Structure formats: structure tokens, C-alpha cells
Amino acid sequence: MSKAVPPIATAVEGTGLAASAALLLLCDRSPALRARVLTELLGVPADDPELADLLARRTTDPEIRELLTAEPADFQQLCMLLCRLGNLGLDRDHPRVAELAERVFAEQRPDGAFPLDRFRTDERYSMIPLQASVPLRAVAAVGAATDPRAERAYGWLLDRRLADGSWPTGLVAGQPGGVPGYRRLPGSPGCRANTQAALAALVLHPGRAGSEPARRAVDLLLRRETRDEWALGTETARLQGRERAAGFISLYARFDLAFVLDLASRTGISPRDARVADLVAFLEGLRGPGGLWEHPAHPELGRWLTLGLLASLRRLHATAADPAAGGWTGEGPRLAFRPAEAPVKRH
């Protein structure tokens, strides 16, 4: 390990529990996971010998080799494949990843969006913001967020925001599509699934992660005061291929608190935001032995879930420790989430 690396506890979040968790993660068999621990949790330099060895062995890992030779069944699965490869640390420097990214860009329309009919969705819709945010997240995950073609898609996506900063379900015959209970944003006419998808694309852009649109989207998401412990790690399971990213408008049907914290932490939000502090306290209460989190549906993904949560906590810790950054706090109220309006009694 490089001598320049700070003590593990300080590098992660300043607690002994985090130090124990990081050490356990470094015992994992996956070179991709261990490489991410070194870079994202311990901040080792690029010329660190251990990191160089892991990066060299990463593409020989059977799991990654299988992904690199996979042929996605449709356009949405192509986008998810890129997200999975990006999560494993690969980017457009790898020829196969570059090829897959070009296949996504090849579908792009002149206005910056991607054809809605490339996704399996309700034919009544003429526009759904996800038609840009899903491919955008994919190409951004492998380092193409600042590609001029991606920038054109970001422009299209931002033009579809509603007045309060959320994104709608879409348009049906020129009118806004409905927002069923599970996709509601408390106190907003927008669609949580579309807003969360747009945010997932924005936070992977180096110049847009801390922008007003990204911060506003986080502010709206954090209004939802629910603690769906059963949904924790849904996105981890998708990125690790244990669960299929099914549906389109319903792509983010589950409210995965680990994913929400990941997105929020990338925007530079302060851990002193009361809603963030409460969310962190709740998640800390779910830690198991050795400081690891257990995945509620897939026990074998506990280390990947822990890596993601520790990375989020480290970003929050870094924001709080940097006087220049300061961090931002939200403005939205804290609202209890109700999936549907209470029935009206009629006499």
C-alpha cells in the first residue's frame, strides 16, 4: 500500500467501524471491487502497485469477461450493460466498451433524445424523459458524459423539466401522463421515476453533478419520508446482474435508499441537511457484523452494497470537511409519503 494513503478510518469516514468494513472489502475475490475500494474509499494514487495489479487482472475476471462478450437483447439492456461495466470500473478506453457506447449514440435523434420506440413502453406516449436519461446514464457511466452527443441529450432532457424542477411522466396526446401512487413525488406534480432517472444521468457529468437541476431533483426526492428497508440495494442487484432492470416508466419503482444516498452525495449536499442526517442514521442502524451491510434479497451482494454506501458516506464526509465546499442544504419540506390518496367517503 502506498505510504501516501491516509489511515483507513480517516479516508473512509472517520470511524473504526468503517475501517473494519474497508479491510473486509479488501479481502473480496473480485479485483474490480478491490480496485474501487482502493480508489474510492482509500484514495490511493494512480501509480499504486497494488492498484495497478488489480486493474491489470480486472479484465481477466470471469464475470467481466462474460459481460464484455454479452450481446444485449434490446436497446434498454444495452444501456444497462454499459452501466454494469461502468460500475465494475471499465470505461471507453476499453475497445469493447467504446463499441457498445457507439451503438447507443448511433440511435440518437438529431434533437438529442433517443427514439421512444426503442424501449418497450405504452404506445400512447409521444415523449417520456426516460428516453434520454436512460441512454445518458449508460454512456456517462463509461466516461462519455462530456461527449458533444451526450451534451445534446442533456440539453433535451433539461428542456423537459417542469416548473418545480421535477420531470413529468411524459406526454399522451399532448397532455401530461398520469402519475400513479408508487411514482409520486410528495408535493410535486412530477414523476419520481423520471426525476430519479434524470438525476442518475446528471450526477455522472463532471460539470452538472452539483448544478441547480441536480440539486433540485435531490431536494424533491428527499421529501419522501419512507424507509423501505426491503428495497435497499435494488440498484446494486441490477448492476451485479442478480435482478433484471425490467419495465421502463416503472424502472425505478422501488425506492432504494442506498441509491438515493448515492445520488444525493454526488451533488455536494451537506450531511447537515436534516433529511440526509436522518437517512444516514437509519442506514447506519442497519449495519451488521464488521461494519458491513447485508443485502436483504441477495446475501452475496453485501460487500458491493457496503462499498456503495461507504463511498456515499465518504463523499458526504469530504463535503463536510472542506470549508471551501461547504455543501448545500435543501429547501423542501419533509412529507410523509402516501402511495395513493385516501378514499373519499360518499354518503
Domain harbouring 255, CATH code: 1.50.10.20
Residue 338 lies in a domain: no
Residue 333 lies in a domain: no
Which residues 6+ apart lie within 8 Å of 311 measured at CB?
A: 36, 40, 41, 262, 265
pLDDT on residue 59: 84
- Burial of 63 from C-beta contacts in 10 A (0-12 / 13-18 / 19+): middle
In this structure, the answer to whether residues 202 and 249 fall within a common structural domain is yes
In this structure, the answer to whether residues 48 and 141 fall within a common structural domain is no
pLDDT on residue 336: 63
In this structure, the answer to whether residues 176 and 32 fall within a common structural domain is no
CA 95 to chain centre: 24
β-pair type (125-127, 175-176): unpaired
Of 29, 58, 87, the residue that ends a domain is: 58
In this structure, the answer to whether residues 20 and 146 fall within a common structural domain is no
Residue 340 lies in a domain: no
Instruction: Decide: helix, strand or coil at residue 11.
Output: helix
Sign, Cα dihedral of 134, 112, 185, 262: positive
In this structure, the answer to whether residues 26 and 154 fall within a common structural domain is no
Residue 307 to residues 35, 166, 172, 190, 238, Cα–Cα distance (Å): 11, 29, 41, 31, 15
Give the helix ranges, DSSP H, for 73-112. Answer: 75-87, 95-105
Residue 328 lies in a domain: no
How many structural domains does the chain have? 2
pLDDT on residue 62: 93
Q: Domain range spanning residue 238?
A: 59-321
Residue 156 lies in a domain: yes
Of 15, 38, 58, the residue that ends a domain is: 58
In this structure, the answer to whether residues 54 and 101 fall within a common structural domain is no
Residue 51 lies in a domain: yes
In this structure, the answer to whether residues 272 and 315 fall within a common structural domain is yes
Which residues 6+ apart lie within 8 Å of 312 measured at CB?
A: 258, 261, 262, 264, 265
Give the helix ranges, DSSP H, for 37-74. Answer: 49-58, 62-68
Q: How far apart are CA 146 and CA 153, in angstroms?
A: 11
In this structure, the answer to whether residues 150 and 171 fall within a common structural domain is yes
Joined together, the cell numbers standing for residue 120 give 418497450
* Conformational region of residue 173, where left means phi above 0, alpha means psi within -120 to 50, and beta covers everything else: left
Residue 124 lies in a domain: yes
How many CB atoms within 10 Å of residue 142?
A: 24
Of 58, 76, 107, the residue that ends a domain is: 58
Residue 289 to residues 103, 155, 281, Cα–Cα distance (Å): 44, 45, 17
pLDDT on residue 8: 35
Record the pTM.
Answer: 0.91
Residue 249 lies in a domain: yes
Residue 137, phi then psi, degrees to nearest 5? -60, -35
In this structure, the answer to whether residues 9 and 95 fall within a common structural domain is no
Q: How far apart are CA 56 and CA 59, in angstroms?
A: 7
In this structure, the answer to whether residues 131 and 251 fall within a common structural domain is yes
In this structure, the answer to whether residues 33 and 147 fall within a common structural domain is no
* Conformational region of residue 63, where left means phi above 0, alpha means psi within -120 to 50, and beta covers everything else: alpha
Residue 224, phi then psi, degrees to nearest 5? -75, 110
In this structure, the answer to whether residues 109 and 222 fall within a common structural domain is yes
Q: How far apart are CA 98 and CA 102, in angstroms?
A: 6
pLDDT on residue 344: 31
Q: Which residue from 212, 306, 295, 324 is spatially nearest to 261, judged by alpha carbons?
A: 306
Tens digit of each residue's pLDDT, the chain (347 residues):
333 433 333 444 445 567 778 889 999 999 999 999 999 999 899 999 999 999 999 988 999 999 999 999 999 999 999 999 999 999 999 999 999 999 999 999 999 999 999 997 778 899 999 999 999 999 999 999 999 999 999 999 999 999 999 999 999 989 999 999 999 999 899 999 999 999 999 999 999 999 999 999 999 999 998 899 999 999 999 999 999 988 899 999 999 999 999 999 999 999 999 999 999 999 999 999 888 999 999 999 999 999 999 999 999 999 988 877 668 998 767 666 666 543 333 32
